[in-house]
Amino acid sequence: LLMQIDKLLCSVERVTLSISCVLTVFVMLIVSADAISRYLLNAPIGFTFDLVIMYIMPATLFCALSFTLRHGAHVNVDLIVGYLRPRQFDILSGLLMLIAFPLVLFLGTEGAVNTWRAWLGGDVTTGVYAWQIWLSEIIVPIGFGLLAARVAHMAVANLYAGITGERAVAIPLSPHRISKHEEAI
């Protein structure tokens, strides 16, 4: 069951990582188009800054959070890892995920509350363009929701692996190889 949940989460994470990659390319294209338009035609694209800062960059970040954790691509300090046996490390990493879970869940829940309030209030930005705030806010609960699912899964999987010795279900916190498909993304 733990391996099936991992496969499901990995599938969703590949989709969100793909979205993140596409958005990164889009940022490069729109910012380049804005620069070319600004300096060659003296006609900047007026909404570029708001679009990139409010929607695209946050989505790029939050869509990649869970994938980054699953594949150990986050910042690591491996000082203690070398001194622990595999089962000890699995238990420790499972406990750390249990500690992290309430915080991640809280951040996702607060993001959802903020999104709901912005939507109900019809909040928009001031300025030339009235951008919907809830569209910017909804990125947080989506990203942290997926991250919370991944953290919960890692907590259970690593504790199970540490207790039973079944290392196949453990998800290491340090970097490991990714598939050719994921590398291509």
CA distance 45 to 126: 18
Q: What pLDDT, on a 0 to 100 scale, did the predictor assign at position 180? A: 57
| Separation of CA 156 from chain center | 20
Query: Per residue in 158-170, pLDDT tens?
Result: 999 999 988 888 8
Query: Per residue in 21-38, pLDDT tens?
Result: 999 999 999 999 999 999
Residues above pLDDT 70, as percent of the chain: 90
Q: What pLDDT, on a 0 to 100 scale, did the predictor assign at position 111? A: 96
Q: What pLDDT, on a 0 to 100 scale, did the predictor assign at position 102? A: 97
Q: What pLDDT, on a 0 to 100 scale, did the predictor assign at position 77? A: 65
CA distance 172 to 129: 45
Q: With bands split at pLDDT 50, 70 and 90, how would you rate the model's confidence at 172?
A: confident
Contact 17, 60 (CB under 8 A): no
Is 184's pLDDT higher than 60? no
Q: What pLDDT, on a 0 to 100 scale, did the predictor assign at position 100? A: 95
Q: With bands split at pLDDT 50, 70 and 90, how would you rate the model's confidence at 183?
A: low
Q: What pLDDT, on a 0 to 100 scale, did the predictor assign at position 74? A: 72
Q: With bands split at pLDDT 50, 70 and 90, how would you rate the model's confidence at 181?
A: low
Query: Per residue in 69-125, pLDDT tens?
Result: 988 777 666 677 778 888 888 999 899 999 999 999 999 999 999 999 999 999 998
Contact 149, 69 (CB under 8 A): no
CA distance 21 to 163: 38
Residue closest to 93 by CA, chosen among 16, 169, 4: 169
